Structure 1
Amino acid sequence: MRNPSILSATPARPHRAGAPAPVKPRASRKAVPALFDACQIGVVLRTVLFVEAVVAIATLFAASTAVDWLTLAATITGGALPATLLWLVAACGLKRMLGRMRREAQFATGALLGAVAALYGCGLLRLTGVLGAAPWVASALAGAMFAAIVMAALVLRARGRTPAATTARLEELQARIRPHFLFNTLNSAIALVRDEPAKAEAMLEDLSELFRQALAEPNESVTLADEIALAERYLAIEQVRFEDRLRIRWDLDPDASHARLPPLLLQPLVENAVKHGVEPSPEGARLRIRTERRGGMVVIEVTNSLPPLRWADQPLPRGHGIALDNVRDRLRLMHDMQAQFSAGIDQDHYRVRIVIPAEP
């Protein structure tokens, strides 16, 4: 073999016919370690709803009737809502600068921005004549307090991602590196060693790369190009097993290759497509992996044809949906409300569709 230390290093191999063209990696950029991200749609929506809920509850103490409450709540909203939006815009615009600060400085700057935004909202109410005497100090303190509460909530949510991501990763490893898959791959490689040693070596290299990725230190995110490359190695192994029964089509958009997603997310979807599409069918199945960039979003689709029911002597096995739930939860943790996930039968195909933000 070319490289006896196959488990420690995977040598470069020529591009396979029919496989997707390798995407040239872009120079990596250092991630900005911001304490919180006010640019996400989910953060904006939750912050606005939180402020409005506090306004609605606080005005109940000063209103004697429902009409008075609605009038007072609408009046205060006229200052609170612009102030909240101003704080979110400022925090989003200063995201990179905040990322270069220490944690304490980020909190202090965020609270200061909250105070300034609250003074802006108070000034609007004063200029429109709604307030006779503007409570400048109270407004500034309230704005700083609201900003601190929102930042603390975002930090706690970010900390909560770590155990959830770790649990999801462990479940995914158990679903992916299954004993029967390992045994089938090794048996296929043994059968090829004597007659086709080059193909056996390539299969073992693909297997070693899958295990290297599975056992590597977890990262928060990887590029779509990395996930495509890993899926290509997995399907290369399955191609040897199923031969002509597995027909793969790649429709890849180079502009979508730099989108970020959780690591080891695409491969379980591809494995599900092989397990439920190819294995039960004597004639095999068609598998299509498609990526496309649409404006500021990237669409990822994994589609497999379904086996005709006439081939099944008994009802076809149905999965428990653990892998799909895993993917959905990890996407929500990383991209919040910006991520979309759907899965289901589309005529004679099963389609999994993911929409995530494109890399800016």
Structure 2
Amino acid sequence: MRNPSILSAPPSASPVTPSTSPLQAKGRVSARPGRPLFDACQIGVVLRAVLFVEVVVAVATMFLAPTLSEWLLLAATVTGGALPATLVWLLATCGLKRLLARLPVPVQYGAGALLGALSALYGCGLLRLTGVVGEAPWLASALAGVLFAGLMMAALVLRARGQTPAATTARLEELQSRIRPHFLFNTLNSAIALVRQEPAKAEAMLEDLSELFRQALADPGESVTLADEIALAERYLAIEQVRFGDRLRIRWDIDPAADDARLPPLLLQPLVENAVKHGVEPSPDGARLRIRTERRGAMVLIEVVNSLPPLRWADAPLPRGHGIALANVRDRLRLLHDMQAQFNAGMDQKSYRVRIAIPAES
């Protein structure tokens, strides 16, 4: 066997090179070379930062303006400097994200605070050059920029730390409910049945099962590549293909340009397992399963579609799932990609379709 250790996890994971196909990437989990302490390159972060600044400006100017008209004028004036400064800070920290990722944590905080001060001075300079203010409060503006940067960095760090318990909980849920004991029992029975007649198939099945457990027990971090997830799904479906035979009809439409997109680990496997559980298992005729990936500009689309079994042989309606796996996938996508991630699941004529859209990474 290529990997005789069923439950062993390697001490480290090697990244998958762009030329590596999903099948060649078996057993590998890509690791990012470096991650910044805070990440301002998401639409949700930009919208929240702008809203936060506008609220602060609106509340602060209320103390200085006795009437509504004066308050509106003063708020508009301050916004003319605060909003450009905010956008400059967001653009600067986003553009320098890779550089900041290589720096020690205290230096990243210091760089973020310095960028905040410079951005605030830029906004103050705009007001001075346009003649909106006569005497420019340079020192107050710089300190306000440092304060804003500190608050933003603290919020982004707390949000990033919030991903850790969710990822840990999700991995434990996968171990307890996705790699189920009855699934292991059925797989081993199928392998035993193949040992004498087709030993090569039995060996391949056990290797795929070993890899599934190894990946589930490994700690790949907060994200992996789509290519890694596709490779893991191929192993899982290879096991189910032996189990169901012609009842499981799989179609792969994989776009290599989408392979580098990042998503939470063990995200695709429960979707594929749901498709097998609700599409193939209840149907004597089996079902069709389609997995499609496609890169469209700056976004990557992922679809898992399975045909649904008719009820002509059932005495009662087929049981429906509780949607726990779908809710888990949705929450983990939001944690990783915030407002840039899209998730839709539901009936599509005689099929059930799960559609995910995430940012593409070059």
1:181 to 176, 180, 183: 183
Match of 1:162 in 2: 164
Indicate how the Cα distance of structure 1 residues 2 and 216 shifts in structure 2: closer, same or farther if over 3 A, else same.
Answer: closer
C-alpha separation in 2, matches of 1:191 and 1:328: 38
C-alpha separation in 1, matches of 2:28 and 2:176: 32
Query: Structure 1 residue 305: deviation in Å?
Result: 0.4
Indicate how the Cα distance of structure 1 residues 321 and 127 shifts in structure 2: closer, same or farther if over 3 A, else same.
Answer: same
Indicate how the Cα distance of structure 1 residues 179 and 117 shifts in structure 2: closer, same or farther if over 3 A, else same.
Answer: same
Indicate how the Cα distance of structure 1 residues 233 and 23 shifts in structure 2: closer, same or farther if over 3 A, else same.
Answer: closer
Match of 1:256 in 2: 258
- On the 8 A contact 2:249/2:287 being kept in 1, the answer is yes
Query: Structure 1 residue 253: deviation in Å?
Result: 0.7
Query: Structure 1 residue 92: deviation in Å?
Result: 1.4
> Are 2:218 and 1:216 equivalent residues in the alignment?
yes
- On the 8 A contact 1:23/1:257 being kept in 2, the answer is no
C-alpha separation in 2, matches of 1:230 and 1:334: 20
> Are 2:204 and 1:202 equivalent residues in the alignment?
yes
Query: Structure 1 residue 147: deviation in Å?
Result: 0.7
C-alpha separation in 2, matches of 1:94 and 1:2: 43
Indicate how the Cα distance of structure 1 residues 201 and 287 shifts in structure 2: closer, same or farther if over 3 A, else same.
Answer: same
Aligned counterparts, 1:46-65, within 5 A? 46-65=48-67
Match of 1:345 in 2: 347
Structure 1 unaligned spans of 5+: 11-18
Match of 1:139 in 2: 141
Match of 2:111 in 1: 109
Task: Name the SS for the 1:311 alignment partner.
Answer: coil
- On the 8 A contact 2:171/2:216 being kept in 1, the answer is no
1:292 to 291, 294, 304: 294
- Listed one character per residue, the Cα deviations across residues 259-296 of structure 1 (whole Å, up to 9, x for unaligned) are 11111110100000000001111111100000111111
Aligned counterparts, 1:23-42, within 5 A? 30-42=32-44
Query: Structure 1 residue 172: deviation in Å?
Result: 2.4
C-alpha separation in 2, matches of 1:156 and 1:9: 30
C-alpha separation in 2, matches of 1:306 and 1:27: 33
In structure 2, give the amino acid aligned to 1:156.
Answer: L
Query: Structure 1 residue 312: deviation in Å?
Result: 2.1
Indicate how the Cα distance of structure 1 residues 68 and 4 shifts in structure 2: closer, same or farther if over 3 A, else same.
Answer: closer
In structure 2, give the amino acid aligned to 1:245.
Answer: R
Query: Structure 1 residue 7: deviation in Å?
Result: 5.5
Task: Name the SS for the 1:281 alignment partner.
Answer: coil
- On the 8 A contact 1:114/1:147 being kept in 2, the answer is yes
Match of 2:285 in 1: 283
- On the 8 A contact 1:41/1:338 being kept in 2, the answer is yes
Please tell me the root mean square deviation across aligned C-alpha atoms, in Å. 2.3
Indicate how the Cα distance of structure 1 residues 9 and 113 shifts in structure 2: closer, same or farther if over 3 A, else same.
Answer: closer
- On the 8 A contact 1:172/1:326 being kept in 2, the answer is no
Aligned counterparts, 1:216-255, within 5 A? 216-255=218-257
Query: Structure 1 residue 159: deviation in Å?
Result: 1.3
Structure 2 unaligned spans of 5+: 11-20
- On the 8 A contact 1:175/1:323 being kept in 2, the answer is no
* Deviates most, 47-56 or 304-313: 304-313
- On the 8 A contact 1:20/1:252 being kept in 2, the answer is no
Structure 1 length-normalised TM: 0.92
Task: Name the SS for the 1:309 alignment partner.
Answer: coil
C-alpha separation in 2, matches of 1:2 and 1:107: 46
Task: Name the SS for the 1:310 alignment partner.
Answer: coil
In structure 2, give the amino acid aligned to 1:338.
Answer: Q
C-alpha separation in 2, matches of 1:195 and 1:2: 20
C-alpha separation in 1, matches of 2:168 and 2:100: 27
Identity %: 80
Query: Structure 1 residue 320: deviation in Å?
Result: 0.8
Indicate how the Cα distance of structure 1 residues 61 and 138 shifts in structure 2: closer, same or farther if over 3 A, else same.
Answer: same
Structure 2 length-normalised TM: 0.91
Query: Structure 1 residue 66: deviation in Å?
Result: 2.4
Match of 1:13 in 2: none
